[in-house]
Structure 1
Amino acid sequence: MLPKKEQIPNFQTMYDHAFGIWEKKHKLASDFFGVSEQTCRRWYLTNQPHEIAKRYLFVHYKGYLPFATGWKDCTIDHDGILHTPWGSCKSSDVAFVWRYKWSAEQSNRQVKALRNKLDEITSGTKYQLLLHTADYLNRLVQDFSSKK
């Protein structure tokens, strides 16, 4: 099954969000798109931009995240904070994801090694003899304590 196509918001809404509602917004937009102010003004007033310009503005509007359904609820704000439905994180958090994964793998390996060592220790004859000796000593202590 194909993923559901993401709905692109109204061009004027994205335009206002990106460039503001002041008189210089068309100048900012012309620098952004690489076209004349007159073209930007026409796109804005008619709400019919070139399709590539609309997609480009949508990418900017979404915070430069991929145009895919997996990122549809995520945005990056002007401070560089990634906002997801599960919380927010800084670029430094994202940069250290590999370190977190490596640390988790190392911890997992250590736990497995310790479990194997524990199984090795508890299944040996020395362990069984140690349990038998401990049981014998406990019975001796009980005998001595009951004789007093």
Structure 2
Amino acid sequence: MLPKKSPLPDFRQMYISAFGYWEKKHKLAADFFGVTEQTAKRWYETNTPHPSAYRYLAVHNSGYLPLTNGWRHFSIDKDGIMHTPHGNCTAGDIAMLWRYKWTAEQSAKQLVITRAKLKEITSGTKYKMLLHTADYLNRLVKDFSD
């Protein structure tokens, strides 16, 4: 089954997001796209840019992440911080992800081993004898304290 296509962002909204509302926005856009200021202004006013310009601006606005469903609400800012729907993370966080996953896997394995040992200890006759002895000692202490 093919993934559902998401609607693409509006060119004008991306244009304003990238270059602002001020009067020099078309000059900034022209420098960014490598076209004349008149061409950038026409693309903005008609909302029909060249397809390559649209893709270039879409990539720029998404923080250089793809516009596919999995990355749609993610972006990377100019400081290199990735903004996600669940919070922000740095390049160091992403680099250490393998370590976090390895640690979680090791902890899960250790938990399984510990639970098995506990079950073994609490199901044996030695444990039952130990509980019986503890009960007997508690009764003796109670008898001596009376």
TM-score range, shorter chain: 0.7 to 0.9
| Segment drifting more, 89-98 vs 36-45 | 36-45
What is residue 51 of structure 1 aligned with on the other side? 51
- Given candidates 29, 33, 50, the residue that maps to 2:33 is 29
Gaps of 5+ in 1: 31-35
Q: Secondary structure at the match of 2:117?
A: helix
What is the RMSD computed on CA atoms of the aligned residues? 2.3
Distance 2:37 2:13 in 1: 19
Distance 2:144 2:32 in 1: 94
Gaps of 5+ in 2: none
Report if aligned partners of 1:15, 1:44 keep a CA contact under 8 Å in 2.
yes
Greater relative contact order (Cα 8 A, min sep 6): structure 1 or 2?
Answer: 1
Q: After TM superposition, give the deviation of residue 45 of structure 1 in Å.
A: 4.5
What is residue 64 of structure 2 aligned with on the other side? 64
Query: Using a 3 Å threshold, how does the CA distance of structure 1 residues 96 and 81 change in structure 2: closer, same or farther?
Result: same
Aligned length: 141
Q: 2:78 matched to 1:78?
A: yes
- The TM-score with structure 1 as length reference comes to 0.79
What is residue 101 of structure 1 aligned with on the other side? 101
Q: After TM superposition, give the deviation of residue 4 of structure 1 in Å.
A: 4.3
| Segment drifting more, 47-56 vs 14-23 | 14-23
Report if aligned partners of 1:29, 1:40 keep a CA contact under 8 Å in 2.
no
Report if aligned partners of 1:18, 1:61 keep a CA contact under 8 Å in 2.
yes
Q: After TM superposition, give the deviation of residue 26 of structure 1 in Å.
A: 0.6
Q: Percent identity?
A: 56
Query: Using a 3 Å threshold, how does the CA distance of structure 1 residues 14 and 63 change in structure 2: closer, same or farther?
Result: same
Distance 1:78 1:125 in 2: 66
